[in-house]
Structure 1
Amino acid sequence: MNLLYRIAIAIATLVLPIIGLFSAKVNHFLKGRKGLLKKLADFRSKYPGKLAWFHVASLGEYEQAKPVISKLKKEKPDLLVVVSFFSPSGYDIAIRKPQENVDFISYIPLDRKSWAFDFVTLLNPTIAFFVKYDLWNHHILALKSRKVPTVLFSASFREDQNYFKSDGFFRSVLKKMDLIFTQNEESIRLLKSINYPEAYLAGDTRFDRVNETAKNPKHFLEIESWVEGKKVMVLGSVWEEDMKLLIPLINQKEKYLWIVAPHDLKPEPMEFWARSIQFKSTRYSQKESLEGVNVLFIDNIGMLSSLYQYARIAYVGGAFGKGLHNILEPIGFEIPVIFGALKNHSKFPEAAQSIAQGCGFSISDFESLKNEFAKLQEEEFYGNARSRAKSWMEANLGAADKIVSEVLLNYPLDGR
């Protein structure tokens, strides 16, 4: 299997440039990686100190990493932090502005053995963290060859994953982790079933992250004036499948204001939705005044996580398509959240947990959406849902503290 993996990676490095000639996404994926070793070498020549490397797949995993990075920097302020991304969608957003507690941002090279070893040699980390998943065999081998402590956190495993099907290549990659911190008890059980010894239940660091955002949200004065004294529903990361259900609800609820943050920021879907909505709407980038506007489309990245502060109710999209987006962001503001019915709850355990806690509500069609919306207009039911959101949030804080404390107990990071 190891040989097949190396062959597959080698083929990918040859085929992807050809595909990139016809695919803008693949071309962007490859173009961003050009010169990454030179950039990393320049950084390390200027900043040669002890370094923690955090690898994330994309933006969602970076959000999970932030509380751990923050806590680690508080404990070890002289430690350099480098964050690598696999996906351009995460990297492109992260490099737009300086990132708090992060000294350098990079792509991770494709997992060709020579590239991986060159990357790790130049990086010369004191410790390495992988967030949730995205474990790359040759990069991990390079770390192990240099005796670098390697940690996986915010892990959430399922029984159908390759790690637990057979004792082969994928399990061997997972077992190279020195410490694994999981989000839930089921993941601990699965790790025990393959005799992995160093597993700890820490919880989901996203709770720490959304709590931090809720305590220190961005403020938008024009929006605050617009929503003052009004009932607001924030529709976050919505797709066409979500809006097919939501637009009829919007058209029935004239007294509500609606903040719509699409996942896809292309103007065409927003223009189509606006034509289907009976009330006045505008895009945030085109607004002159919000007077008389019922629906505000957010056509940028970076606002949504703070916009939930204005909501009475939230809807989070994606469940009807590629996957549910972050329902914990509104929960951080103690806002009840509605979302689409999931086909596979195991990939998004927080959805079932929120339903069990009484602050999340799953819908499958317009009738169920209308019913859940109506229930949340009842003050007693609504107040209870908010109270349960708060309790659930508070009960799950502290994952970052647990992770960093245990890591530093095992690896004080004083010697390398």
Structure 2
Amino acid sequence: MLTRLPYTLLWILALPLVLLRLAWRARHQPAYLRHVGERFGRYRTRAPVGVIWVHAVSVGETRAAEPLVRALLAEWPEHSVLLTHMTPTGRDTSKTLFRDEPRVLRAYLPYDLGCFAHAFLRHFRPLFGVVMETELWPNLLAACRRRRIPVMLANARLSERSARRYARLPALTALTLKALAAIGAQTAADAARLAQLGARRVTVTGNLKFDIAPPAPLLALGRSLRERIGARPVLLAASTREGEEALLLDAFARLAPPAALLLLVPRHPQRFDEVAALASARGLALQRRSADDAVRADTRVLLGDSMGEMFAYYAAADVALIGGSWLAFGGQNLIEACAVGTAVVIGPHTFNFQAVAEDAERAGAAVRARDAEAGMREALALVADPARRAQIAAAGRAFATTHQGATARSVALLTALAARREA
């Protein structure tokens, strides 16, 4: 408790600022002001008996959790799965992914103070918990340990940069990691960094994102979108971050032939209007995917302003330039593009997906470029070389298939945890 005391005091002092930040973010996403009580451990709906809790912060973690959630529903048919989030987009993604599954519940995870954590656990009484990737909440994990609720850190990844940051608070980090009943790391390097910080019971389970199968309806939607686009080169800028769109749009305007179409999909929906303005300011004829009209022959930029359709965008594209990698954001998931069979170009900044990006390069499933302009040149070169593009696409499919199996290994760990608790 003494180790967590300064952290807890900081949370208490920060709460007014946290509320102001919610209001600030609600200017662009009003959903931030919905279900506010849940962030303080207050829930209106009655919790069912038999809950398995999975925490997925936002969109990326929620999508990564999909195969695990489906496996948990199959393994424990008498239980419900509670998905908790921190962002409205994460919550909306879970609604989209599990719209036909009544046993999937969703809520916001409360802020990390002991009173809120205990209120959350009293209300839902989970059999066990799963926290996705890098979310470590010291007070919540301490409350779970006190109530003998085992928690697993699944799909765990820890870059060298993040490890250095955690190492600045060695006592708190070690205490928090030791509160976990199990850790399923994506790679041996992730496992080693976690162990160095004090983690116990670390197993290399692999990356759950390899187990996400491209949904047939989205692949069909992608084919339909491509038919509406017509016989034109289609370059996809996928999950782009602030500052990257300007670089890619400038490179596209300078280098791409008039027939080429840039399918531009920003990572965050609150930036759709901002990105549309960037394209229009460069004199590039723009259409929005949400308009659902036929794509005009003179359209140069199609803005992917929809949620949950990334697989369709990959299926409609010839080449995908993966966002988050053109500026120092650490990259985004390239596995979905590989699974669909879309040739991949990545930038220099992939530290959040280091192992996946390097393995994809070695497998011939991705090409790396030094900056956005070089990436656009590489993408256009692939468009002009169908044989090389097909070779990269085939390597991508093989790469995605070879690394599957993390879901089964994670469920095996969780089954053992549940058995130990019931014993």
Aligning the two structures, in what range does the TM-score lie when normalised by the shorter sequence? 0.7 to 0.9
What do residues 226-255 of structure 1 show as CA deviations (whole Å, max 9, x unaligned)? 245443222212344344334443563234
Change (3 A) 1:293 1:400: farther
Deviations 1:109-146 (A, max 9, x none): 11111111111111100010000021211211121111
Match in the other structure for 1:254 = 258
The alignment status of 1:79 with 2:85, answered yes or no, reads: no
Measured in 2, the distance between the counterparts of 1:238 and 1:332 equals 19
5+ long unaligned stretches in structure 1: none
Q: 2:83–2:105: 8 Å Cα contact kept in structure 1?
A: yes
For 1:175, the equivalent position in structure 2 comes to 178
Residue in structure 1 matching 2:345, options 306, 331, 338? 338
Matches within 5 A, 1:262-277: 262-264=266-268, 265-277=271-283
1:182–1:202 contact (8 Å) kept in structure 2: yes
Q: Which residue of 2 aligns with 1:232?
A: 234
Q: Report if aligned partners of 2:339, 2:401 keep a CA contact under 8 Å in 1.
A: no
Query: 1:115 corresponds to which residue?
Result: 116
How big is each residue's C-alpha offset from its partner over 1:380-404, in whole Å with a ceiling of 9 and x where there is no partner?
4223212211221111111111110
Distance change in 2, residues 1:147/1:362 (3 Å) = same
Deviation of residue 162 (structure 1)? 4.7
Matched, 1:285 2:285: no
Structure 2 CA distance for aligned equivalents of residues 57 and 214 of structure 1? 26
- What CA distance in whole angstroms lies between the structure 2 residues aligned with 1:277 and 1:412? 62
Amino acid in the other structure paired with 2:211 = D
CA distance in 1, matches of 2:187, 2:378: 31
8 Å CA contact 1:318–1:325 kept in 2: the answer is yes
> Following the alignment from structure 1 to structure 2, what is the Cα–Cα distance between the partners of residues 406 and 193?
21
Distance 2:264 2:10 in 1: 42
In the alignment, the residues of structure 2 paired with residue 126 and residue 231 of structure 1 have an alpha-carbon distance, to the nearest angstrom, of 51
Q: 1:359 maps to which residue?
A: 365
Provide the rounded CA distance (Å) in 1 between the counterparts of 2:215 and 2:222.
14
Q: Is the 8 A contact 1:180 1:200 kept in 2?
A: yes
Residue 208 of structure 1 corresponds to: 211
Report the equivalent of 1:397.
404
Q: Which runs of 5+ in 2 are unaligned?
A: none
Distance in 2 separating the partners of 1:18 and 1:249: 39
Q: Which residue of 2 aligns with 1:69?
A: 69
How many angstroms does 1:62 deviate by? 0.9
Aligned residue in 2 for 1:10: 12
The answer (yes or no) to whether the contact 1:152–1:180 under 8 Å persists in 2 is yes
Deviations 1:139-192 (A, max 9, x none): 111211111121111101234345556641111101111110011011222344
Structure-1 separation of matches of 2:23 and 2:410: 43
**49-58 or 223-232: which moved more?**
223-232
Distance between the aligned counterparts of 1:358 and 1:9, measured in 2? 46
- Report if aligned partners of 1:247, 1:273 keep a CA contact under 8 Å in 2: no
Give the whole-Å Cα distance in 2 for the aligned partners of 1:305 and 1:378: 23
Q: Tell me the distance in 1 between the aligned counterparts of 2:355 and 2:158.
A: 10
Quick one: structure 1 residues 376 and 351, their matched pair in 2 at CA, closer, same or farther if it must change by over 3 Å?
farther
- The residue identity in structure 1 corresponding to 2:172 is F
Q: Deviations over 1:193-247 (max 9, x none)?
A: 45644211111111112x3436863526752422454432222123443443344
Q: Structure 2: how far apart are the matches of 1:414 and 1:212?
A: 35
Evaluate the alpha carbon distance shift between residue 194 and residue 291 of structure 1 in structure 2; reply closer, same or farther with a 3 A threshold: closer
Partner of 2:155: 154
Residues 231 and 155 of structure 1: is their aligned pair in 2 closer, same or farther, counting only changes over 3 Å?
A: same
> 2:251–2:376: 8 Å Cα contact kept in structure 1?
no
Q: SS where residue 45 of structure 2 aligns?
A: helix
CA distance in 2, matches of 1:195, 1:18: 35
The aligned amino acid for 1:153 is A
- Determine the structure 2 residue equivalent to 1:302: 308
The answer to whether the 8 A contact 2:42-2:119 is kept is no
Distance 1:36 1:196 in 2: 28
| Cα drift, residue 103 of structure 1 | 2.5
- Equivalent position SS for 1:411: helix
Sequence identity percentage: 18
1:315 matched to 2:321? The reply is yes
Compute the displacement of 1:9 (Å).
1.0
**Conservation of the 8 A alpha-carbon contact between 1:163 and 1:174:** no
Q: For 2:175 and 2:365, locate their aligned partners in 1 and report how far apart those are by CA, in whole Å.
A: 39
Give me the whole-angstrom Cα distance separating, in 1, the residues matched to 2:278 and 2:375. Answer: 24
Q: How does 1:127-138 map to 2 (within 5 A)?
A: 127-138=128-139
Question: What letter matches 2:192 in structure 1?
Answer: R
